[in-house]
Amino acid sequence: MPRHDAESPAYSPKALEIIAHANELIASGGYNGFSYADIAERVAVRKASIHHHFPAKADLVKATVALHRDATRRGLDALDEAVPDAMARLEAYAGFWAQCIEASNPPICICALLAAELPSLPAEVADEVKAHFEALHAWVASVMEEGNSRGSLRLGGTPVAEATAFVASIHGAMLGARAVGDAALFGTIAHQALERFRPR
């Protein structure tokens, strides 16, 4: 899901390597928690060379988020195809994140993290983060609407309202697990969030 395709046509292999490291560093300390120097030493080129691939920091972080969004979209598309049942699809989505967080790979959704810092982000990055939330809300809502109409899950409100609430639970669960230092807490909360949609 957040796994990106190493064959993305828009970036060189080195640029993709830089993005991968930016991803990890953002996931740990947010936008201002890492510098080009950090990336440079991980990628084994000089700091100034990073500018060749990404002229400014905002370019790098925007690209990182955009690639994360691409990967998310492809992952959600794949879920739509592979898992016909709406409830099982949401479970698979939550399960995917539970595995990631348990393995710290990645340890958090970078868009959720950047959302927290949104007011101080460059506008082009903030726009990507906002778009990610909107796309995720829309996907969850469409899954819920489908599931509700087919009886595989049961909504207590509108699909849109329930979807935004579910996404909030997922992201809040990431914060909670991180705060108390218990990765399994994410899975517990996510499972609980899903139970409310279980048909009786």
Partner DNA sequence: CATAATCTACCTACCAATAGGTAGGTAATC
Partner DNA sequence: GATTACCTACCTATTGGTAGGTAGATTATG
Cβ-based neighbours of 146, under 8 Å, separated by 6 or more: 86
DSSP classification of residue 45: S
Give the H or E element holding residue 87.
helix 86-102
Nearer to DNA, 87 or 125 (CB): 125
Token pair for 182? 């218990």
Give residue 14's Cα distance to chain centre. 22
42-61 residues near DNA, rule: CB under 7 A: 44-49, 51-53, 55-58
Among 5, 6, 10, 12, binds DNA (CB under 7 A): 12
Give min distance, CB of 120 to its own copies, in A: 3
Residue in the block written with tokens 């905002």: 58
13-42 residues near DNA, rule: CB under 7 A: 14, 32, 34-38
Give residue 96's Cα distance to chain centre. 11
159-198 residues near its own copies, rule: CB under 8 A: 161-162, 164-165, 167-173, 175-176, 178-181, 185, 188-189, 192-193, 195-196
Nearer to DNA, 122 or 172 (CB): 122
- 73 touches DNA by CB under 7 A: no
Cβ-based neighbours of 71, under 8 Å, separated by 6 or more: 1, 2, 3, 4, 5
Q: Per-residue DSSP letters for 55-80?
A: SSHHHHHHHHHHHHHHHHHHHHHHHH
Give residue 21's Cα distance to chain centre. 16
Quick note: the x/- pattern for its own copies over 5-44, rule CB under 8 A, is -----------------------xxxxxx-----------
The footprint of its own copies (CB under 8 A) covers 28-33, 107-108, 111-113, 115-120, 129-130, 132-134, 137, 156-157, 161-162, 164-165, 167-173, 175-176, 178-181, 185, 188-189, 192-193, 195-196
The footprint of DNA (CB under 7 A) covers 12, 14, 32, 34-38, 44-49, 51-53, 55-58
